[in-house]
Amino acid sequence: MTVADALAVLRERGPDRAAENALLGEWLLARAGLSGEAGEVTVAPGSARDSVVLADGRVSGTVHRVPWARDAARVALLADGRAVVVDRADLTVQAHVNLAGDARDTVVLDGAGARTGAAVDPEELFMRGALTRIALMAGALDRLYEIAVRHASDRRQFGRPIGSFQAVQQHLVNIAQQVALAGVAAEATVRRAGGFEIAAGKLLANRAALSAGRSAHQVLGALGTTREHPLGQLTCRLWAWRSEYGDEHHWSTRLGVAVARAGADNVYPAITGGSTVVSV
């Protein structure tokens, strides 16, 4: 599965382990020279909370918020700058979930035997993880807009659809604007997955998730807050994905520092040229 195909699947279907594995798991194994092993692999995203030590081919420590660790055949992670793969039978999984109820497990390693690969830059993995979230969030925002527009057309008050009221129209316009921004950002990252494009795309998607989600819930009212309603499921996932692979503070700080470092004369060229002008 190509990067473009995997991103398209994530955008169209939402959370898809096969597509995310193609983007993260298969890439990490290939990058580390560990390709060719059978069984699904999930990737530990890495965080400041993690503590992992690799010694004599064995790995010990704890990694947090690993997607679907409980269901994977193997877990891949970075330890001392190298990629390592550990079989599910050799580690302990503590089940946890994110805001949307999706598995984000804690993995405990106690001298587990590991297959060690080549050195991998953690920044490469972080950027690729952010790319997956941009695609996921763009797709979720598309569906969020469809739900809000359909509800505004079907729901009637005072003898007419609520979408004919100016206050509701204002919310729909805001959702449409945010969806368009996130969609353009997602398409740009597929064409040129440079640091600037990923940073700007994730920042735009994070902001759109908050703004569009708020407006969509205003349109649907209490109906959209129930656990069973697809709007509530979408917004919970969007809000959970905001904090994964860089929140607004992280990406706005990195973009600001990069543009300031490039100098005032490169502000507009950075906007038009992206990663060809500015390194993030």
Taking the C-alpha atoms of residue 117 and residue 29, their distance in angstroms, rounded to an integer, is 8
Taking the C-alpha atoms of residue 71 and residue 178, their distance in angstroms, rounded to an integer, is 34
Same domain, 31 and 135: no
How many structural domains compose the chain? 2
| Run of H or E residues at 272 | helix 267-273
Same domain, 90 and 144: no
* Domain final residue pick, 120, 146, 171: 120
Can you give the residue range of the structural domain that contains 214? Answer: 123-276
Cα 227–Cα 230–Cα 231 angle in degrees, nearest 5:
90
Same domain, 203 and 66: no
* Domain final residue pick, 89, 120, 151: 120
| Domain harbouring 230, CATH code | 1.20.140.10
Same domain, 104 and 222: no
Please name the amino acid found at residue 3: V
Same domain, 115 and 181: no
Q: Is 14 exposed, middle or buried (0-12, 13-18, 19+ CB in 10 A)?
A: middle
Same domain, 107 and 128: no
Query: Whole-prediction pTM value?
Result: 0.91
Q: What integer best gives the mean pLDDT of the chain?
A: 91
Q: What is the pLDDT of residues 70-126, one digit of tens each?
A: 999 999 999 988 999 999 999 999 999 999 999 999 999 999 999 999 999 999 999
Q: What is the pLDDT of residues 3-33, one digit of tens each?
A: 777 788 888 888 887 788 778 888 899 989 8
* Domain final residue pick, 74, 91, 120: 120
